[in-house]
Homo-oligomer: A and B are copies of this chain.
Amino acid sequence: MTDALQDTHSYMLELGRRARSVAATLALASTRQKNDALLAAAAHIDADRAHILAANLRDVEQAKARQLPTARIERLVLTDARIDGIIAGLRQVANLDDPVGAVDGMRTRPNGLKIGKMRVPLGVIGIIYESRPNVTADAAALCLKSGNACILRGGSEARESNAALAKCLYAGLRDAGLPESAVQVVETTDRAAVDTLVTMSDYVDVIIPRGGKGLIKRISEQARVPVIKHLDGNCHMYVDETADLALAEKVAINAKCYRYGICGALETLLIDVRVAERFLPVIAKAFAEREVSLRGCERSRAIVSGLEAATEDDWATEYLGPILAVRIVDGLDDAMAHINRYGSQHTDAIISTDINRIQHFMAGVDSSSVVANAPTCFADGFEYGLGAEIGISTGKLHARGPVGLEGLTSQKYIVFGQGQCRG
């Protein structure tokens, strides 16, 4: 290693040691203390607006000088309204139920042992994210409320904004009598910091990357620490022969057009061949009016003339834009086979009035959310009532689907005896 690399490596290990050293304190922190810290941090951010906006302006100017893409600069910009949003977010997390300490499934064994499961923090969470500075406050709040220490590594273009927000978070922790190292914002912009963060398994219990697919893929490949991740959102909707077609039309349009860029947006529409002649012309017209272009299979193109042909690649593509793939399938099992083959295990929907078909679909489609008679774009922690969301997991272990406070915790067995012995 070069000296600079060695310095970054040592710096990250030191952050890890500090985080680990306060984890036990955080696990025992009261709900009141954690809420006090969140509310105090919100107050500090409110009082420090001028500094935060000035720091953000420096980041934005730097980003413009570096000629970053407009969309990335747009995500970076803080305004008074966005700061209001950050403050509201912290207060909202303070209002959520504390997941830590809940005991489930306590039961008595024949020998009198009482055994149950207690919800506990994971310990230390590393979060790696891109330009939006609000993630600094949002992620810190969720980790703190769930009793975890966190190490936050933001994008280099948001360095000054993140540092200004971090100062307020640290002050909030101090005010509440909690250790400042509960939240640590990585100060170096050296990319080697990430290499160390995702491999220091003695100090970090889980990594949550938030950002583009490239970032997440790179981190997953490198990590020696478990990663809660979300790669693609290639979402499907299957219109069954028993579907209410008016409902199917309304839901399909919402699923595609609510927002093109979200991971729950509809990317492939599957239509049972038995209703295709009735449904496809109607939905094709509706999408045409909304300037969504369709790419269809051979059978679709025989029904609606002028459709662009879908290729094998289209079935596997998350467009995140005004394009929709359409395929006619031979019933439920064919639709499920298509989804399990090409889908990304994110969110998939069935439109049907037949409860047996819906249940078959729900049991057999291997995705983090399966939906009946509603659009895939509902896949979201707030919409699901989790109160907050750190991300959506398309992995199967631990948290799956939208991840809220509970996803940042684990359960351990607790056993109460009165001197029982084994054997």
Contacts and interface: CB of A to CB of B under 8 A. Distances in A.
Interface of A: 23-24, 27-28, 100-101, 107, 109, 113, 115, 118, 120, 122-123, 205-206, 221, 224, 226, 228, 244, 247, 250-251, 254, 258-259, 336-337, 340, 358, 360, 362-364, 366-375, 377-379, 383-385, 395-398, 400-402, 410-423
Given A113-B378, A396-B122, A415-B372, A364 B250 contact: no
A94 to B, nearest CB: 21
Given A24-B336, A396-B123, A412-B368, A363 B417 contact: no
Contacts of A379: 413
Contact of A115 (B340, B360, B384, B413): B384
Copies of this protein in the complex: 2
Given A369-B415, A401-B412, A422-B375, A101 B27 contact: no
B373 A418 contact: yes
Complex A-B, nearest 8 residue pairs according to Cβ-Cβ distance, in ascending order: A374-B417, A254-B421, A397-B398, A247-B419, A369-B413, A371-B415, A401-B413, A398-B398
B369 A120 contact: no
Best-buried of A101, A258, A420, A422 by chain B (most CB within 10 Å)? A422
Contacts of A384: 109, 115, 413, 415
Given A363-B28, A377-B422, A378-B422, A370 B415 contact: yes
A253 to B, nearest CB: 8
Contacts of A419: 244, 247, 250-251, 373-374
A28 B360 contact: yes
Contacts of A410: 396-397, 400
Contacts of A336: 24
A218 to B, nearest CB: 14
A302 B416 CA distance: 33
